[in-house]
Amino acid sequence: MRLYACFAILFLSLLSTSCYTQVKTMKTADKKALNYANEARISMSSGQTDKAIEYLKMAIEIEPEFIDAWNTMANFYLYKNDMDHAMPAFIKTIELDPKYDYSAYILLARIYLMQEKFDEAESTVDKLLAMEDATAKQKKDGTQIKQNCVFSKDAIAHPVPFDIKNLGTTVNSKYAEYFPALTADDEYLYFTKRDNTTGHAQEDIWYSRNDKKGGWLPAQRLGETVNTEDGNEGAHTISPNGKYLIFTKCQSPDGMGSCDLYISKRDGEDWSVARNLGPNINTGAFESQASISGDSKTLYFVRAVSKDNTQIMYSTLDEKTGFAAALPLSDAINTEYREQRPFIHPDNNTLYFLSDGHPGMGGDDIFVSRKDAAGNWGAPVNLGYPINSSGDEGGIFISSDGKKAYIASERKGGLGIDDIYSFDLYEAARPSMVTYVKGTVTDIDSKLPLQANIQLFDVETGEKITTLTSDPKNGFFMITLPVGKDYMYNVSKDGYLFYSENFSLKEHDAIKPYNLDVALSKIKEGVSIVLKNIFFETNKAELKEESKTELDKLVDLLTKNPMLKIEIGGHTDNVGADADNLKLSDARAKSVMAYLVAHGISADRLTARGYGETMPIADNNNVEGRALNRRTEFKVTSK
Mean pLDDT of 214-221: 95
Q: Has residue 519 got a pLDDT over 70?
A: yes
- Nearest CA to 361 out of 9, 110, 540 is that of 110
Q: Has residue 1 got a pLDDT over 50?
A: no
Which range, of 3-7, 30-34, 250-254, 482-486, averages the lowest pLDDT? 3-7
**Cβ(56)–Cβ(69) below 8 Å:** yes
Mean pLDDT of 376-387: 96
Q: Has residue 440 got a pLDDT over 80?
A: yes
Q: What is the DSSP letter of 496?
A: B
Query: How confident is residue 86, by pLDDT bands cut at 50, 70 and 90?
Result: very high
Q: Has residue 62 got a pLDDT over 50?
A: yes
- CA 490-492-493 angle, to 5 degrees, is 170
Q: Has residue 10 got a pLDDT over 70?
A: no
Question: In this predicted structure, what is the pLDDT of residue 391?
Answer: 80
Query: How confident is residue 7, by pLDDT bands cut at 50, 70 and 90?
Result: very low
Query: pLDDT tens, 414-429?
Result: 898 889 999 999 999 9
State residue 373 phi and psi, 5-degree precision: -65, -25
Query: How confident is residue 198, by pLDDT bands cut at 50, 70 and 90?
Result: low
**Angstrom distance (rounded) from CA 610 to CA 381:** 59
**Angstrom distance (rounded) from CA 243 to CA 261:** 16
- CA 307-139-88 angle, to 5 degrees, is 80
**Cβ(59)–Cβ(49) below 8 Å:** no
Q: Has residue 230 got a pLDDT over 90?
A: no
Q: Has residue 507 got a pLDDT over 80?
A: no
- Nearest CA to 39 out of 16, 62, 18, 9 is that of 62
Q: What is the DSSP letter of 604?
A: G
Domains of the chain, CATH where assigned: 10-157 (1.25.40.10), 186-385 (2.120.10.30), 433-522 (2.60.40.2190), 525-639 (3.30.1330.60)
pLDDT above 90 covers what percent of the chain?
Answer: 79
Query: pLDDT tens, 626-637?
Result: 999 999 999 999
Q: Has residue 620 got a pLDDT over 90?
A: yes
Question: In this predicted structure, what is the pLDDT of residue 6?
Answer: 36
Question: In this predicted structure, what is the pLDDT of residue 508?
Answer: 65
- The verdict on whether omega for the bond into residue 240 sits within 30 degrees of 0, i.e. cis, is no
CB within 8 Å of 408: residues ≥ 6 apart: 177, 178, 179, 180, 191, 394, 395, 418, 419, 420, 421
**Cβ(480)–Cβ(436) below 8 Å:** yes
